[in-house]
Amino acid sequence: MLSILELLAGEAPSGRIEELVRSFGGRGARPDDEAVLRLERAERLALQVHSQLARRQQRETELSALVDTARDLTLPYELDELLGTITRRTRRLFGMDMSYVAVRDEAAGDSYVRTADGHASALTVGYRVPHTWGLGDRSVEANVPIWTPDYLSDDSFRHSSVLDEVVRAEGIRAIIAAPLAVGSVSFGVLYAADRNIRHFSIGDVSLMNSLGGLAAVAIEKTRTLERSHSDIADLNEFRRFGELHSRLVDLAMAGSDLQTLTAEVATALDGAVLVRDVENRTLSAVGELPSVDEAEVLAAAQAASARREPVVVGDGTGVWVVPVMAGGEELAVMLLRPRTPLDDTGVRRMRLTAQAVAVLLQVHRSEETAASPFRDELFDDLLAVERRPLKQLELRASRLGIVPDRPLVVVVVRPEGSTAGRAASWAASYARRMGGLRSIQRGCISLLLPLPADSGSGTGKGAGFLARSVSDQLSALLGHPVTVGASGPVRSLGLVRQSHQEAMRCLETLVALGNVGACASVEDLGFLGILLSDDRDAAAFVESTIGPVLNYDAQRLTELTRTLDTYFASGSSQTNAAELLHVHPNTVARRLERVAELLGADWSTPEKALEVQLALRLHRIHLVLRGQRGADGASAGSSGQTPHVV
């Protein structure tokens, strides 16, 4: 027995103890052989002590490994790196085929594999796991590790056909699962799995429980650190945003020009920048933008304006459209092509730069508004009944950039609702941009604008173009239609007052017809302006409609006016008119060709013909009232002379 004790003291393997007992003949002794029985009993006790020592040694090894794991988990990791360390340590501690962590996704209502270690073809990262089925659900409910020696044949928990199929595909048999929880809140499950049947001991369960607790604490600590780092990064980014915003706004308030500010914006956003006004005109540009589809740009600009957020153009060029707004008013639009794709921080930086551009444009608008009283005063003087000398007005106009020989159009706007203040402010800026003047007359906004080169040169055509342009832009700004009347063009400042009266009559006609919110020029309305206006100017209508024919007759002693009158009286028949005039039909045809040259090719269309007939009738009445010959339609300037035949 002393020899047995010596073997135990020397930590000899259990087989040496069994060999020693056999050498003394202890095996198979008779029941009455007391010495041998004592020897066998000593053997059993020795083996029991040996087993306890082995289990204690294994426990010490496991605890040492657990301490190493705990020390390892205290190191600074990113979350995915930490989860990889946890699964790797778990698989090695248990000597199993694989280990993985499933994290709960509350939004989706399930869990997904965040990380895995060991050979796995189906349980890969990202695989969705139903968290209300299987061992994970039971371990979370009980808040203790749950295990099974053979997963597919164990009916003690709820199975999921999808999960069972994955387990079958992986060839997994034994699984142990421990909840990952902080306090009473569980956020995931730690799994270890083996492809052989395995019964887990109490020590295994205890070790898994300790691993789950350590892992949960380490994960929560890492999450907290990441949130802290994110908050610090946000604070630093906020500080940088503040510095950028202050620098750009200081530039705007210090009187910097838009090109300089745009250069700063391009540097801050690291890309090419283009600023356009609401009329799609380029105000400033830095760098070159790629060729873009203007229709896509327009769609993106409308979306950006509606959302008040930057929007990327949908043509694949990577160009962003940023609205430049002050309050509810869109001042301009900024196009940006960054060198690298933008994240959320870049989008926020775009908003800040757009605000700085808006500040600069507002500063420029304020300067324009401050200068507008001098411009308004000139327009008021042009509209006054007792006007200053024309030469003096032309001199003042030239100082303000109004070129006297450029065609001018008068546009009168009546804002609807309580938006007159915003409309007047916009009109001052618009008139300045267009090189014109603004005035407030009888509750209406009047604009004297030079005719754009591409809007048409005929009488009334340019006025209609500008009326629609003003209506479209101001209606979009105010959010509701405005009523607009226009007249012109005229080539002398001395005719501005007359043109303004015509534009006012045009506006009054629209209102009288119930077309509030519409726009039209004198040419658009024709004789309706005479019929419905309180201040009927028949002479102006006659002059604008058939004036060229009357002047031609007066200067050349022809009979175009009489021919026109007879033509309409004969039912628009050239043959019947020739009989009434006692001339050849070819003569009537040539005269009407000359009329087309003077009045335009569309003079005989139903709408124009009606206006020509009305003008002829008014002209005849005018001659009768003046006591001149008018019954035959001859002009006043042809009396006593023989008319030419054309």
CB 446 within 8 Å of CB 439: yes
Query: Do 201 and 322 share a structural domain?
Result: no
Query: Do 63 and 84 share a structural domain?
Result: no
- Residue 329, beta-bridge partner list: 326
CB 160 within 8 Å of CB 138: no
Q: At what angle do helices 344-383 and 420-434 cross, to 10 degrees?
A: 80
Query: Do 106 and 47 share a structural domain?
Result: no
474, 458, 536, 459: which is closest to 502 by C-alpha? 536
Question: 381-384, long-range: CB within 8 Å, 24+ apart, which pairs?
Answer: 382/437, 382/448, 382/493, 382/496, 382/497, 383/439, 383/441, 383/446, 383/496, 383/497, 383/500, 384/497
**121 lies in some domain:** yes
Which residue would you say has higher pLDDT here, 316 or 498?
A: 498
Query: Do 610 and 596 share a structural domain?
Result: yes
> CA-to-CA distance for 426 and 449, rounded, in angstroms?
14
pTM for this entry? 0.40
Cα end-to-end span (Å), the chain: 155
> CA-to-CA distance for 314 and 190, rounded, in angstroms?
45
Does residue 537 register a pLDDT over 50? Answer: yes
pLDDT (0 to 100) of residue 516: 83
Which residue would you say has higher pLDDT here, 298 or 462?
A: 298
Mean pLDDT of 128-134: 72
Does residue 176 register a pLDDT over 90? Answer: yes
> In the structure, what pLDDT confidence band is assigned to residue 632 with cuts at 50, 70 and 90?
very low
Query: Do 515 and 571 share a structural domain?
Result: no
Buried b (16+ CB within 10 A) or exposed e, 216-240: bebbbbbeeeeeeeeeeeeeeeeee
CB 193 within 8 Å of CB 99: yes
Does residue 156 register a pLDDT over 70? Answer: yes
Which structural domain range is residue 178 located in? 77-226
**232 lies in some domain:** no
Contacts of 54 (CB under 8 A, 6+ apart): none
Q: Between the CA of residue 354 and those of 234, 299, 533, what are the distances in Å?
A: 21, 19, 47
Q: What is the dihedral of CA 629, 635, 638, 643, to 10 degrees?
A: -110
**375 lies in some domain:** no
CB 115 within 8 Å of CB 83: yes
CB 134 within 8 Å of CB 159: yes
Which residue would you say has higher pLDDT here, 250 or 472?
A: 472
Q: How many domains does the structure of the chain reveal? A: 5
Provide the mean pLDDT of the chain.
77
Query: Do 562 and 523 share a structural domain?
Result: no
Query: Do 524 and 390 share a structural domain?
Result: yes
Out of 226, 245, 279, a domain closes at 226
Out of 226, 241, 269, a domain closes at 226
Query: Do 532 and 389 share a structural domain?
Result: yes
CB 170 within 8 Å of CB 122: yes
Amino acid identity, residue 588?
A: V
Model confidence pLDDT, tens digit, residues 8-65: 666 666 666 666 666 665 555 454 566 666 666 676 776 677 666 666 666 666 666 6
CB 118 within 8 Å of CB 191: no
> CA-to-CA distance for 448 and 382, rounded, in angstroms?
10
Does residue 87 register a pLDDT over 50? Answer: yes
Residue 462 CB-density burial (10 A; 0-12 exposed, 13-18 middle, 19+ buried) = buried
Mean pLDDT of 328-332: 75
CB 486 within 8 Å of CB 525: no
Out of 12, 45, 70, a domain closes at 70
**245 lies in some domain:** no
CA angle 494, 499, 505 (to 5 degrees): 150
> In the structure, what pLDDT confidence band is assigned to residue 642 with cuts at 50, 70 and 90?
very low
Query: Do 208 and 92 share a structural domain?
Result: yes
**In percent, how much of the chain has pLDDT > 70?**
71
**374 lies in some domain:** no
**242 lies in some domain:** no
Pairing of strands 519-521, 483-490: parallel
What are the structure tokens assigned to 525, written together? 């309305």
Model confidence pLDDT, tens digit, residues 217-271: 888 888 877 777 666 665 666 666 666 667 777 766 666 778 888 888 888 778 8
> CA-to-CA distance for 163 and 112, rounded, in angstroms?
12
Does residue 629 register a pLDDT over 60? Answer: no
Length of the chain: 646
CATH assignment of the domain containing 444: 3.30.70.270
Does residue 631 register a pLDDT over 60? Answer: no
- Residue 334, beta-bridge partner list: 275, 322
CB 414 within 8 Å of CB 483: yes
CB 205 within 8 Å of CB 145: yes
pLDDT (0 to 100) of residue 436: 82
pLDDT (0 to 100) of residue 146: 92
CA angle 186, 190, 196 (to 5 degrees): 145
> In the structure, what pLDDT confidence band is assigned to residue 193 with cuts at 50, 70 and 90?
very high
Does residue 120 register a pLDDT over 60? Answer: yes
Amino acid identity, residue 406?
A: R
Mean pLDDT of 566-593: 88
What are the structure tokens assigned to 643, written together? 């008319």
pLDDT (0 to 100) of residue 295: 83
Mean pLDDT of 160-175: 87
Least confident of 135-139, 273-277, 537-541, 605-609: 537-541
Query: Do 503 and 544 share a structural domain?
Result: no
Which residue would you say has higher pLDDT here, 38 or 117?
A: 117
Mean pLDDT of 443-471: 73
> CA-to-CA distance for 179 and 214, rounded, in angstroms?
11
CB 634 within 8 Å of CB 562: yes
pLDDT (0 to 100) of residue 362: 75
Q: Between the CA of residue 436 and those of 375, 387, 447, 602, what are the distances in Å?
A: 9, 19, 7, 32
Residue 604 CB-density burial (10 A; 0-12 exposed, 13-18 middle, 19+ buried) = middle
Report the largest interatomic distance among the alpha carbons of the chain, rounded to a whole angstrom.
176
What are the structure tokens assigned to 322, written together? 């940023």
> In the structure, what pLDDT confidence band is assigned to residue 473 with cuts at 50, 70 and 90?
confident
Query: Do 530 and 428 share a structural domain?
Result: yes
Query: Do 394 and 266 share a structural domain?
Result: no
- What beta strand segments (E) does 8-97 contain? none
Contacts of 109 (CB under 8 A, 6+ apart): none
Q: Give residue 195's region: left, alpha or beta (phi > 0; psi -120 to 50).
A: alpha
Does residue 143 register a pLDDT over 90? Answer: no
> In the structure, what pLDDT confidence band is assigned to residue 148 with cuts at 50, 70 and 90?
very high
Q: Helices H, strands E: what count in the chain? A: 21, 16
Amino acid identity, residue 278?
A: V
Mean pLDDT of 349-365: 77
pLDDT (0 to 100) of residue 210: 84
CATH assignment of the domain containing 149: 3.30.450.40
Phi and psi at 348, nearest 5°, equal: -65, -35
What helix, strand, coil percent values describe the chain, rounded to 5? 55, 15, 30
**558 lies in some domain:** yes
Amino acid identity, residue 583?
A: V
pLDDT (0 to 100) of residue 174: 93
CB 591 within 8 Å of CB 559: yes
CB 42 within 8 Å of CB 6: no
